[in-house]
A and B are shown apart, each in its own frame.
Chain A
Amino acid sequence: MKEKFIIRAENLSIGYEDRVIMKDLSFEVPQGDIFIIMGGSGCGKSTLLRTLTGLIPAHAGQIWIRGTDFINGSRQEKSEVMKHSGILYQSGALFSSMTLAENVALPLQQYTSHSPDKISQIVSFKLALVGLAGYEDYYPSEISGGMRKRAGLARALALDPEMVYFDEPSAGLDPVSSKNLDDLILEINKTLGTTIIVVTHELSSIFAIGKNSIFLDKTIKTISAKGNPSDLLKNPPNEQVYEFLTRGESYEKGTK
């Protein structure tokens, strides 16, 4: 059971300090999947992502990542889990004082004992992988928002992680750049077998890349739907999911 799923959450409660944002979250992310965490603005998608990446503690419940107890595990175990994870933040989160090459090289310097030459080769390859060959010496301020995201992805892929988290990958991108990033996510998933976990409310991305998904419902503060996004659209389990997936069309009208 545990081997099949790269992430498993049981009865998870998340929030900040005393404020519970979501509760009783139970879901599994199959290995090699593209898993979408979707929901309306302010429903707690990013909070769930921050909990899954260890940035904030969970209020209650369990998370197993790669079979490791991510809530009660030791610092070393969590660090080992994070070594196998990459994260692409909404803004790219590149270090502005470093060039793209230095940004991508940072996790390699931290976790590997490769020589500077080898690191430089890996960095060039990762940047080429995301379509940024030749941009090694550029600073984040010298490239566009879409390129910054791709550079962030190159950094997230630096250590060949088993899974990559994406926080609102389409945010702030034009439709073409957004589609290109979706294509890149699909390519990475297909060619490297990387498990992709995407937090988004961008419908075009959800339908283009999502194989599995959970829908976080702000009104009931928990998951109200699970499954393939297209299947959820065909057979909406409730009004909120239908309205979300159809950009606010009336549930009664649509399901008649």
Chain B
Amino acid sequence: MVSVKTQGNNIICTLEGVLSGTTPLDIPSVLRNKKIQLVGSNIESWNTDFVVLLFNALKHFPKDNISYSQLPQGMEQLLRLAFQTPPQEKEISRAKLPFLERVGEVGINFFHCVKKGCTFIRECLVSWGRQLCGSAVYRSKDFWMILADCGPQSILIVSLISFMVGLILAFVGAIQLKTFGAQIYVASLVTIGMTRIMGAIMTGVIMAGRTGASYAATIGTMQVNEELDALQTMGISRTDFLVLPRMNALLLSMPILILLADFMGILGGCFVCVLFWDIPLSEYIKYTTNSFYLNNFLVGVFHGIVFGLIIAWCGCYFGVHCGRNADSVGAATTKAVVYSIVWMIVTTGILTVICQWLGV
């Protein structure tokens, strides 16, 4: 039981009997300027739940205004320990901002983000220029390792996904075309679809998830380990040293992977047509050959090159601008993948309109 008595400027708080977290305790915080004396009288038992309760009731009292008398030794020590550091005067405000301020903040952050992104792209292009002049510094060993990772080591997954996409395209297309008795045109559908855009998009998505994420995680971890600081203080451009080999590796491997994706997609379509729709192989090849247009293929490859740039920029940008803890690396990786895919889709829309306008 706890009884509180006020005597002039002093409060006597008497603790007795069994004291636990459920003991009723009411010390109004308006009394905080008074001196309080905690008096232990016939305390049978107590536990830390009660000390927590008491601490929270007294936390607004200045440490010097609290005195202890006949309290159990452990209880007094715990309270003294808890009160030894004054509470932080200025608490961090985590209150939700008003709607307009939040909108303003988002706008300002977006502006800063765009500005940083443009600066980064400019740095990359300048670095590329330096490379053409032969003055960019990066290790060829790094370039070959990165190229091996985003080229040959991506072949299996690109082949598998593209084969499945071709297969799905053929299945879905054939079901619809069969209603007109035109299922033989599935070969044309798959060929045009894969070479024009699907091959590039699927390769882009795979590479964003695989390589873009890896770029962001690698460079982000380097940021956490102060390796980027070390580069900067050594006077080595991080764009030359880290971004350029990654950009070059993707630019080189994307067209080849797209070629592979196109082929595997057409193969997937062939698999469905020959096995499930009883279209002779020779017919499928004939229609495929007839529907294969070089301009479609080149448009697909061009998309791939642009996607390569987007993936490399997003991966490296979020890696370089990563924070200095493990959470930031995770966030950078996620952002790299999400932004790569979003920008790829936006770019595809823009390029499609441009191609339409140019009549390609």
Contact = CB atoms under 8 A, between A and B. Distances in A.
B225 A91 contact: yes
B283 interface: no
A137 B149 CA distance: 22
B142 A91 contact: no
Interface residues of B, number: 15
A93 B227 contact: yes
B224 to A, nearest CB: 9
B235 A85 contact: no
A106 interface: yes
Given A97-B142, A97-B145, A110 B226 contact: no
Contacts of A93: 225-227, 229-230
A110 B234 CA distance: 8
Contacts of B234: 82, 106-107, 110
B225 A85 contact: no
Contacts of B227: 93-96
Contact of B235 (A50, A83, A94, A97): A83
B226 A91 contact: yes
Nearest to B232: A55
B225 A111 contact: no
Contacts of A31: none
A94 B226 CA distance: 9
Most buried by A among B222, B226, B227, B230: B230
B139 to A, nearest CB: 8
Interface string A93-120: 1111110001000110111000000000
B252 interface: no
B239 to A, nearest CB: 15
A154 interface: no
A83 B139 CA distance: 20
A95 B142 CA distance: 11
A74 interface: no
Interface in A58-112: 79, 82-83, 85, 87, 89-91, 93-98, 102, 106-107, 109-111
B35 to A, nearest CB: 24
B137 A89 contact: no
Contacts of A95: 222, 227, 230
Nearest to B146: A97
Interface of A: 50, 53-55, 79, 82-83, 85, 87, 89-91, 93-98, 102, 106-107, 109-111, 155
Interface of B: 137, 139, 142, 145, 222, 225-227, 229-230, 232-236
28 contacts: A50-B229, A53-B233, A54-B233, A55-B229, A55-B232, A79-B235, A82-B233, A82-B234, A82-B235, A83-B235, A85-B233, A89-B226, A89-B229, A89-B230, A91-B225, A93-B225, A93-B227, A94-B227, A96-B222, A96-B225, A97-B142, A97-B145, A107-B234, A110-B137, A110-B234, A110-B235, A110-B236, A155-B230
Given A53-B229, A83-B235, A102-B139, 8 more contacts: A55-B229, A89-B229, A93-B225, A93-B226, A93-B229, A95-B222, A97-B142, A110-B234
